[in-house]
Structure 1
Amino acid sequence: MTQRTPEYRVAELAEAAGIAVRTVRYYQERGLLDAPRRQGRHAFYNHTHLERLRLIADLLARGHSLEGIADLLTSAEHGGGVSELLGFESAAAQAWGDGEVTIDFEQMLTRFGEQATPQAITEAVALGYLRIEEDRFVYSSARLLEAATALVATGIPLRSILALSWELEAAFDRMAFAFVQEFRIHLLGQVLEDPSPQRLHELAGTITELRPAVRQVADELLARAMDRRIHADLPEISQQLSQAAGGDPAHRGDTAAPT
């Protein structure tokens, strides 16, 4: 005996999709949702309608407009690969940083002491490193939190670390822009000439494969820059250390003994 596919009234469909009834009807008016099966005065929707609503919600969450979604759905009806596009978006949007970490105020004080001032916390929030949830502090990156803790422990003030962070954010924004531009010119451009599902699938794989290489380049370029900076400053640093160790009063701030 063939089992009948479950059907939904409009209110049941809206509840299953987590949206309002008026939204279901609006999507129908926009042509985003197929017409239901009608039996007399009643309309019945099936699992296909529910999956379409979930797909629309997913695309909206990814930043697509309803106009763009309509184009994607039309493309899908003509053999376009919406699932491949979603796969590409998932690969491209996967976070590059590590996971969040949550600490309480006592833990904050243990790490930063009196340097965890309201001004410092406000600046960390502005940088996007921190958000406050009730009585908890959520850091966007466990590694950045550990790095800041280590730097403060060596004697570098937290306010200086936050000031430096603005410069580093700007520098890495420029680096990220350059990498994305190269991707758009040399990889995306080829797929736009033949936007088949297979090419989209391959592009998603390429994005995943490129991640370690991009991070390796960034790490190595920073290492090379640090080498250059240290070699440039090392003679002066050595001289300062030598003069301080030799007791040069001009560099210790001591007063010379009268003759």
Structure 2
Amino acid sequence: MSSEDTGGGAAARYRREEVARAAGVKVRNLRYYQERGLLPPPRREGRIAWYSEDHLVRLRLIDDLLGRGYTVKGISELLAAWEQGGGITQLLGLEREMTRDWVQEEPVTMGLRELRELFGPAATAEDTRRAARLGYVRVDGERVTFPSRRLLDATVTLVRAGVPLAEILDAGEFVQGQAAALADRFVGLFRRHVIGSGGLERLPATRLEHITAAVGALRPVAGEVVAAEFARAMARRVEAEAAALLPRGPAPRPGRVGRAGRTGPTDR
């Protein structure tokens, strides 16, 4: 992938193999989609064909519609109808807004030796295999990549505090399940009340613009809600734990004045 200065920043551009790989389609499909009118031709510089971000978004849309049971002819008619109604730009913008920037992580790559030095005897081969199954690491020969530096830092902190790595992975698997349920709930609310039961077919351009704006607003809100509720829950749980760990004072003796100023049964 390359980039070019468009006057407002760097715009991504792709060679044929790169855009096909990014969209998850076969290279030969690009020419087929162009012949059927589903995909605009690329911009050529000499013998090199450059595809843009809009090409990538449209390819993903085509692939999604094919997966939903649409025929190539049906997709062509649908795209033509959107283009005639002026909604294709908004539709592509919506797809771009819906799929971008949900995950912003800094990956960390290291060798197996560095991994052993980082975790010491706390990490076993089975722990590494399980972490890979959960998506926390990717192992490629002698190289290990952690997709999320934040999760790596949190894991190292817990291990150094004495928490067994196997139990950290247990907690991580539990959190993944809860996060998936939360995502399902948020997406379900958005699907029912913002997009509507009819889906995106034949929606006017103004409605697509409204949905795009709502998607942009949802991204930070969803994370803030989860973070706020987790912080509140942790505060309650830690307070209760601290109260249970602290030593209790002696029980008040009969006849002595209590905290509220009440006297015992011997007072007159």
Q: Normalization by structure 1: what TM-score?
A: 0.68
Q: Alignment partner for residue 150 of structure 1, among 157, 172, 183?
A: 157
Please report the RMSD computed on the Cα atoms of aligned residues, expressed in angstroms.
3.8
Q: Distance in 1 between matches of 2:204 and 2:32?
A: 32
Q: Which runs of 5+ in 1 are unaligned?
A: 1-13, 35-44, 243-259
Q: Does 1:108 align with 2:109?
A: no
Q: Does 1:204 align with 2:212?
A: yes
Q: Alignment partner for residue 83 of structure 1, among 82, 89, 107?
A: 89
Alignment of 1:51-200 (within 5 A): 54=55, 58-59=59-60, 63-65=64-66, 67=71, 69-99=75-105, 100-189=107-196, 195-200=203-208
Q: Percent identity?
A: 29
Deviation at 1:171, TM superposition (A): 1.1
Q: Distance in 2 between matches of 1:224 and 1:149?
A: 25
More helix by share: 1
Deviations 1:3-60 (A, max 9, x none): xxxxxxxxxxx99x9733x8745874xxx238xxxxxxxxxx9769x87994697236
Deviations 1:204-257 (A, max 9, x none): 2221222222111111100111122223333322249x9xxxxxxxxxxxxxxx
Q: Distance in 1 between matches of 2:158 and 2:57?
A: 46
Q: Distance in 2 between matches of 1:133 and 1:102?
A: 10
The amino acid that maps onto 1:144 is L
Greater mean alpha carbon deviation, residues 178-187 or residues 99-108: 99-108
How many residues matched? 214
Q: Distance in 1 between matches of 2:124 and 2:246?
A: 35
The amino acid that maps onto 2:236 is R
Deviation at 1:63, TM superposition (A): 3.3
User: What is the aligned partner in structure 1 of residue 37 from structure 2?
Assistant: 33
Deviations 1:171-221 (A, max 9, x none): 111111111111112211299587222322332222122222211111110
Q: Distance in 2 between matches of 1:233 and 1:79?
A: 61
Q: Is the 8 A contact 2:155 2:168 kept in 1?
A: yes
Q: Normalization by structure 2: what TM-score?
A: 0.66
